[in-house]
Amino acid sequence: MLTRLFSIAKNTFTETLRQPIYAIIIVFALLLMLLAPAVSMYTLDEDVKMLRELGLSTLFLAGLFIAVFSSTGAITEEIESGTITTVLSKPISRPVFILGKFIGILGAVTLAHTLITFALLMVTRHGADISSHEFDWTVISAAIVVVLLAFILTAFFNYVYGWSFPATGVIMATILSGFAVLFLFFVDKEWKFNPADNHFDPFDITASALLLMAVYLIVALAILLSSRLNEILTLTGCIAFFLVGLISDWMFGRVAILEISNKINIVSYVIIAGINILLLYLAIRLYFRFIYRHLPKFFFGNMLGKIIQCGIVLFFISLFTTPFNILVAFIASNFMTVEHLLLYSRDIYIFLAKVASTLTPNFQVFWVSDAIYETGVVPVSYLWQAGSYTLLYTAGILALAVALFQRRQVG
């Protein structure tokens, strides 16, 4: 099983690196890193902090787009092209296929994140004070050498061995950038051996590690969505989860911390919601069994027919759910006072906020820009907590993805 898992992960990693969008996002992110010192120098006394925040923002957005675009097509493209039937016809289980895809994309995302992190370290080492022409020529020289050597080596391997130019270029640039950062760690701007004055801040590495955890969550979410949805819906869902996750504390957290006054309200609400879900499920099953198969061809051949069909479905569902909800409303209006209704609504609102706060990924956990302007230090305990949160959340998402993919038709 491990051999098959490694083979799927390796193929996914290679295919991801060969995607044009992968290299385009990396190049664009590196160009933004290059322009960051020129933008941040217009601040007064916060130029270095602004430079650091711009660099981390670029790193975060680049990781987001790489994760989303690389993950959305990992499963859906193989299903649409039919290659997945060949893969699954071999002795490869669907859970192994999902995990292999996840690990392969994780490797590609980590590679790109590492390269952009090296660029961030070099930019913050250089600083934002370029208005007075105080350039750090050790950083500039190291960057030029990395670009030239990466281009020369990539062109050589592409010409002689036929290796993919974008994939080879990213790998070479990452390796050479690592050596450049190591060189800059020991050599100061005066070209002297001076590790104590290398101007590297451990906060940048810590912040980068936290952002990488966030990217891992996005990859897992993309795998989950692509196990049942097409590429466009997966892309939309990932962006929606990301945006909601950024404001999760504001949307749900401030309400979720409140206390529920009467738990009986929650029990009754859960019972009512459960009955509605059962009625909804029954209505859909009966619709497809007795009505859907007898509809004329008009309802399937054009957009108008599909819209009318959706209306029929909603009307059929309302026939099952409306009488029950009318009964509930009648009982509430006759046996509950206005104060009880308001208290009931408040408890339900708090309960839903608690559920949403638990299920929604909170990306603010990984964004530590506030520490830039305050202490500038992220405790090790916080890293462990964020790592545990990422591990548990990712495991849950992947388990759900495997469960959903088990029942998907791929033939």
pLDDT digits over 397-406, tens only? 999 988 888 8
Q: Considering only CA atoms, which of 213, 196, 248, 197 is closest in space to residue 360?
A: 248
Name the one residue in this structure whose structure tokens are 């409306």. Answer: 322
Distance between CA 89 and CA 343 in Å, rounded? 57
> Higher-confidence residue: 370 or 317?
317
Q: What is the pLDDT of residues 141-182, one digit of tens each?
A: 999 999 999 999 999 999 998 888 989 999 999 999 999 999
Q: What percent of the chain has pLDDT over 70?
A: 86
Per-residue pLDDT at 115: 95
> Higher-confidence residue: 133 or 277?
277
Task: Give me the chain's average pLDDT, please.
Answer: 81
Would you say 254 and 99 are in contact if contact means Cβ atoms under 8 Å apart? Answer: no
Q: Is residue 107 one of the residues assigned to a domain?
A: yes
Residues 279, 381 share a domain: no
Q: What percent of the chain has pLDDT over 90?
A: 21
Residues 369, 349 share a domain: no
Q: Is residue 109 one of the residues assigned to a domain?
A: yes
Residues 396, 302 share a domain: no
Q: Is residue 250 one of the residues assigned to a domain?
A: no
Residues 293, 151 share a domain: no
Of the three residues 359, 377, 397, the one that is the final residue of a domain is 359
Residue 277, domain extent: 256-359
Per-residue pLDDT at 180: 92
Per-residue pLDDT at 300: 57
Per-residue pLDDT at 25: 92
Q: What is the pLDDT of residues 175-205, one digit of tens each?
A: 999 999 999 888 888 788 877 777 777 888 8
Q: Considering only CA atoms, which of 258, 253, 225, 204 is closest in space to residue 371?
A: 204
When mean pLDDT is compared over 143-147, 200-204, 308-312, 317-321, the highest value belongs to 143-147
Residues 179, 324 share a domain: no
> Higher-confidence residue: 296 or 145?
145
In this structure, how many other beta carbons lie within 10 angstroms of the beta carbon of residue 103?
A: 17
> Higher-confidence residue: 30 or 409?
30
Band of the pLDDT at 45, cuts 50, 70, 90? Answer: low
Residues 375, 331 share a domain: no
Per-residue pLDDT at 148: 95
Of the three residues 359, 375, 396, the one that is the final residue of a domain is 359
Residues 177, 67 share a domain: yes
Please list, in sequence order, all residues whose beta carbon lies within 8 angstroms of the beta carbon of residue 135, skipping any fewer than 6 positions away. Answer: 126
Residues 235, 303 share a domain: no
Q: Is the pLDDT of residue 367 over 70?
A: yes
What token pair was written down for 105? Answer: 């994309």
**Three-state SS at 363:** helix
What token pair was written down for 293? Answer: 């198969």
Residues 279, 385 share a domain: no
Average pLDDT over residues 13-29: 90
Average pLDDT over residues 257-267: 75
Q: Is residue 126 one of the residues assigned to a domain?
A: yes
Average pLDDT over residues 256-281: 79
Q: Is residue 15 one of the residues assigned to a domain?
A: yes
Q: How many domains does the chain contain in total?
A: 2
Q: Residues in the chain, how many?
A: 411
Residues 394, 370 share a domain: yes
Q: Is residue 411 one of the residues assigned to a domain?
A: no
Q: Is the pLDDT of residue 24 over 80?
A: yes
Band of the pLDDT at 371, cuts 50, 70, 90? Answer: low
> Higher-confidence residue: 249 or 397?
397
Residues 353, 369 share a domain: no
Q: Is the pLDDT of residue 318 over 80?
A: yes
Residues 174, 70 share a domain: yes
Would you say 81 and 229 are in contact if contact means Cβ atoms under 8 Å apart? Answer: no
Predicted TM-score (pTM) above 0.85: no
Average pLDDT over residues 60-76: 81
Q: Is residue 326 one of the residues assigned to a domain?
A: yes
Average pLDDT over residues 230-259: 80
Q: Is the pLDDT of residue 133 over 60?
A: no
Q: Is the pLDDT of residue 212 over 70?
A: yes
Q: Is residue 71 one of the residues assigned to a domain?
A: yes
Average pLDDT over residues 299-306: 61
Per-residue pLDDT at 113: 93
